[in-house]
């Protein structure tokens, strides 16, 4: 990589962000396509991320990815946005800033890769967790489902998510078993099962044999949830799929090129040690 004063600048901003795999993923694609660009990770601790983001235009940034806790600020910083929660920003030639959210479509791309026939199989969706990730995925999937049930440790957040999604419903945390038994698609969006966090004994035994399960955790790549699902022969999708496909859509927004997602997966697997 030959970085000069002409090199395009991109970054992921968030807090924390040092653990992010996005630089590895995007710099790999930048090299694949011989682009004069570089992508880094910038930790941003600020109560006014909107101002910080707007001022990055003066530093000549081409685009940004935005992660927790600045996705709302990113949408506010933009001159136009497709969502009030943005994970991708792009400065246009006229100096204005456009905001996008590629998380939902990235999840759908990953799901389509894992289970190409999912649209014909899924009508009852069960989302475990009602944080930013759970809500974003629920919104993106809502149009394809009869119902989207949310269960969350903190009930109020499940209620808020359910009311933000047209066919959203609440399932109480105590009723997880009912959700597992009824769903055609189960998406685990909490931090449970992540390295260093608590695990949970999900009632996978109650799942329908045709269910598709997905976990957005990718450290470890095979969570206890996915292992239990695969042991039952269920279709199971790991958390790298969404990470890669949301990134691929962001890359295409900046460079107009659909990057090679299989190459990204190989690089990320090597970095994760498997
Ligand atoms: P994100 O925006 O990435 O989804 P988040 O908003 O912090 O992150 O959400 C984390 C999710 O993990 C929430 O659903 C959270 O539940 P609460 O809303 O009750 O906090 C869930 N979570 C984290 N630790 C948990 C635990 N020990 N048991 C159950 N759920 C947990």
Catalytic residue set: 71
Q: For ligand 1, is residue 266 a contact (CB within 6 Å)?
A: no
Q: For ligand 1, is residue 168 a contact (CB within 6 Å)?
A: no
**Most ligand 1 atoms within 8 A of CB, residue of 189, 191, 201, 202 to mutate:** 191
Two structure tokens written together for 164: 């933000």
Q: pLDDT tens digit string along 123-161?
A: 999 999 999 999 999 999 999 999 999 999 999 999 999
Question: Predicted confidence band at 273 (pLDDT cuts at 50, 70, 90)?
Answer: confident
- CA–centroid distance, residue 191 to ligand 1 (Å): 6
Q: Which of 129, 109, 112, 134 is nearest to 121 (CA)?
A: 112
What separation in angstroms does the CA of 267 have from each of 93, 103, 112, 195? Answer: 32, 20, 21, 20
Asked if domains 8-101+247-271 and 104-237 share a fold, the reply is yes
Q: What's the mean pLDDT in 194-221?
A: 96
Q: For ligand 1, is residue 190 a contact (CB within 6 Å)?
A: yes
Q: For ligand 1, is residue 63 a contact (CB within 6 Å)?
A: no
Fold of 104-237: Rossmann fold (3.40.50)
Domain segments of the chain as ranges: 8-101+247-271, 104-237
Q: How far apart are CA 55 and CA 68, in angstroms?
A: 19
Q: Identify the CATH number of the domain defined by range 8-101+247-271.
A: 3.40.50.10860
**pTM > 0.75:** yes
């Amino acid at each position: 990589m030959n970085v000069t004063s002409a090199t395009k600048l991109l970054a992921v901003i968030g807090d924390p962000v040092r653990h992010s795999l996005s630089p590895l993923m995007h710099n790999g694609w930048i090299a694949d396509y011989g682009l004069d660009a570089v992508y880094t990770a910038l930790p941003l601790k600020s109560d006014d991320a909107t101002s910080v983001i707007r001022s990055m235009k003066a530093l000549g940034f081409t685009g940004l990815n935005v992660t927790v806790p600045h996705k709302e600020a990113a949408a506010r910083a933009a001159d136009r946005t497709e969502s009030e929660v943005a994970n991708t920003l792009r400065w246009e030639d006229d100096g204005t800033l456009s905001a996008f959210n590629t998380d939902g479509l990235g999840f759908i791309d990953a799901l389509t890769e894992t289970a190409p026939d999912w649209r014909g199989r899924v009508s009852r969706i069960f989302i475990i967790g009602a944080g930013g990730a759970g809500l974003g995925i629920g919104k993106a999937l809502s149009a394809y489902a009869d119902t989207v049930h949310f269960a969350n440790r903190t009930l109020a957040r499940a209620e808020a998510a359910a009311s933000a999604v047209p066919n959203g419903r609440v399932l109480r945390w105590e009723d997880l078993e009912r959700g597992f038994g009824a769903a055609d698609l189960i998406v685990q969006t909490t931090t449970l099962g992540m390295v260093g966090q608590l695990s949970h004994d999900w009632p996978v035994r109650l799942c329908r044999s045709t269910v598709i399960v997905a976990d957005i955790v990718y450290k470890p790549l095979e969570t206890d949830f996915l292992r239990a699902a695969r042991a039952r022969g269920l279709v199971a999708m790991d958390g790298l799929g969404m990470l890669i496909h949301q990134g691929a859509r962001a890359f295409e927004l900046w460079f107009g090129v659909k990057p090679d997602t299989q190459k990204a997966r190989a690089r990320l697997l090597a970095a994760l040690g498997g």
